[in-house]
C-alpha cells in the first residue's frame, strides 16, 4: 500500500504565535502515524512561486493522511495557524511501484 504525504508551503506572519500551532499539532500527527521528512530547512526556489517554510510529512497511507487533516484534533491545532500564516497544503498518495 502506498504511503500518504502532506506537502505544505507556508508563510508565517507571527513566528511566536505560530509556535502555538506547532505545540498543538503533535497529538494529531502521532495518532495518525506521521513522520516529518522535511520541516523547514534551507531551500532554493528554482521554478514558480515559493513560500518561506516547506514541510513534507509522511503517513502510513493516503487515508491516514486525509484522516489526520480532517480530525478534530488537527483542526483545533490549525485554528492557531490560520490567523498567523498563509499556507498551501496538498495531500497526495505516494508512488507504489
Q: Which pLDDT tens digit goes with each residue over 16-52?
A: 999 999 999 999 999 999 999 999 999 999 999 999 9
What angle do the packed helices 15-31 and 72-81 form, to 10 degrees? 170
Q: Which pLDDT tens digit goes with each residue over 67-92?
A: 999 999 999 999 999 999 999 999 99
- Give the CATH number for residue 87: 3.30.70.100
Domain count, the chain: 1
Q: How confident is the model at residue 96 (pLDDT cuts 50, 70, 90)?
A: confident
Domain with 24 in it? 4-44+51-93
Helix (H, G, I), strand (E, B) or coil at 28: helix
Is 64 a residue whose pLDDT tops 80? yes
Residue 50 has a pLDDT of 95
Amino acid at each position: 500500500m502506498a504511503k500518504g504525504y502532506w506537502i505544505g508551503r507556508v508563510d508565517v506572519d507571527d513566528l511566536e504565535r505560530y509556535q502555538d500551532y506547532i505545540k498543538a499539532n503533535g497529538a494529531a500527527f502521532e495518532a495518525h502515524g506521521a513522520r516529518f521528512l522535511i520541516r523547514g530547512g534551507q531551500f532554493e526556489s528554482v521554478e514558480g512561486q515559493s513560500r518561506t517554510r516547506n514541510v513534507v510529512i509522511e503517513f502510513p497511507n493516503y487515508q491516514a493522511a486525509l484522516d489526520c487533516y480532517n480530525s478534530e484534533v488537527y483542526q483545533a491545532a490549525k485554528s492557531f495557524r490560520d490567523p498567523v500564516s498563509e499556507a498551501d497544503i496538498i495531500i497526495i498518495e505516494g508512488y507504489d511501484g
